[in-house]
Amino acid sequence: MPVATQACIKGLTPQQTEELGITLILNNTYHLNLRPGKRVLNASGGAHAFQGWKRNMLTDSGGFQMVSLSSFSEVTEEGVRFASPFTGEPTMLTHSIGADIIMQLDDVVSSLTTGPRVEEAMSRSIRWLDRCIAVHKASGKVNQQNLFAIVQGGLDHSLRDKCLDDMISRKDEVAGYAIGGLSGGEEKGLSKHAAAMDVIDKDCPCPTCKEGVSRAILHHLISHETAAAHAITQHNLVFQARLMGEARDAVIKGTFPRFLKDFFGRYFGDSGYPRWCVDALRTVGVDLLEGKEEATVVDGDGARWEYSADT
């Protein structure tokens, strides 16, 4: 789903976002607790009214900031206490934002972490889920907000299985599940687009591609004019929505492994498959290089955690 970290999809108004067919956005719990803060959100009638978004909204757990902002946070059994980077004032995360889907608070560690801390985080996430369920029931909003559990356990399959089993045993008290603690990123270069007169994707139905906006003009404007952010965001949202729709259809049809091979073949077949993608998918029985002995594999640290207030 598109991420509206600061209660806004960068470059687009809520109306423009909805016109692209987007029905669900994500608000960042940590950032909105800091600014504008609970007092302003409550006074405005919640995050929907505050940002003028009439469709569905999900708020994240805040767990990612436990890793990306570890120097500002303290994790205890009580919860996560952050020091405001603006005032130094301590604050505890709260889900009084008014979202339709609220993720439980989970104990998150870097995907590269090994040893006892991973099991500690997994077990604590289960205990915190029970506390979230109790508070959710007491809030009187069970029919208005959907509480989701988050499966933790790092890269340890046995811990993941245990966490999943424990959370499934609470299936009557949560609305759904998410897989946590596996986000990673990789750097991308833009210089190759400086003289490219083709659109981002000739098969994309987004306004940017349909209107023939070239990669070259986007490269020229991106650091100077907000129009470029507007155009790129339109493309990104449509691309993401189409991709997830195709993935969902493949899961329903039982053809998801073939979908993955086709997707990676289209996007990385010429430039080289990221090794971390190849290795990660092999652990779940999907070999992207099957039947492609001549394929190029590019090394790189795909498990690096990234953080940006502008995400």
Q: Indicate which residues carry an active-site annotation.
A: 60, 201
Which helix (H) or strand (E) element contains residue 3?
strand 3-4
* Phi/psi at 177 (5° precision): -135, 150
Q: What strand order describes the sheet that includes 3-4?
A: 3-4, 24-27, 56-59, 101-103, 146-151, 176-179
Beta bridge partners of 177: 149
Among 298, 267, 299, 264, CA closest to 281:
264
CA separation for the pair 101, 18 (Å, rounded): 18
HEC per residue, 210-251: HCCCCHHHHHHHCCCCHHHHHHHHHHHHHHHHHHHHHHHHHH
Residue 182, both tokens = 């596996």
Q: How many CB atoms lie within 10 A of CB 132?
A: 24
Q: Read off the DSSP letter of residue 67.
A: H
Q: Residue 106's closest CA among 71, 145, 140, 67?
A: 67
